[in-house]
């Protein structure tokens, strides 16, 4: 699946590349992220659906056997206990297709990242003054 992905300009276009089952998971994930970060802006970054608010918040992507979720290393670290059942790396986690997506946990991670990015933006403003 990954090898034949073409360059995309929107999240809708990205999602449309996948099977109906994967599209359904991606659409629900997108909604959960959007509901958890209503001020965030959608874009494509690194050829992945991305939500940004004072910088990138989270990315997600469909792969051959899982959906990758990329909330930055801080988002993984803050929820490492809850994420321990999933494969992952420093800034990513893999949600296998055969398991339901943990939407409540994803929402908590997104909200954490919103607060983190807002705090960083406030600190930058204070330094400029």
65-110, pLDDT tens digit by residue? 999 999 999 999 999 999 999 999 999 999 999 999 999 999 999 9
Three-state DSSP at 106 gives helix
Give me the residue label for tokens 């792969």.
63
Give the pLDDT score at 5. Answer: 56
The Cα 26–Cα 66 span in angstroms is: 11
Three-state DSSP at 74 gives helix
Helix (H) or strand (E) holding 77: helix 72-78
Give the pLDDT score at 4. Answer: 47
Domain ranges of the chain: 2-128
Q: What is the CATH number of domain 2-128?
A: 3.90.1150.200
Give the pLDDT score at 50. Answer: 98
Query: DSSP for 68-129?
Result: EEE-HHHHHHHTTTTTTTSEEETTEEEEETTS---HHHHHHHHHHHHHHHHHHHHHHHHHH-
pLDDT top residue among 126 and 38? 38
């Amino acid at each position: 699946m990954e090898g034949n992905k073409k360059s995309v300009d929107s999240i809708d276009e990205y999602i449309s590349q996948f099977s109906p089952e994967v599209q359904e998971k991606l659409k629900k994930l997108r909604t959960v992220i959007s509901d958890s970060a209503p001020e965030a802006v959608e874009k494509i970054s690194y050829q992945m659906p991305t939500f940004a608010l004072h910088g990138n918040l989270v990315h997600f992507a469909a792969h051959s056997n899982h959906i990758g979720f990329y909330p930055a290393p801080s988002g993984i670290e803050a929820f490492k206990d809850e994420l321990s059942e999933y494969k992952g790396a420093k800034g990513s986690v893999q949600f296998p297709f055969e398991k339901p997506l943990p939407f409540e946990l994803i929402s908590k991670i997104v909200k954490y990242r919103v607060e983190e990015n807002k705090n960083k933006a406030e600190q930058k403003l204070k330094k400029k003054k």
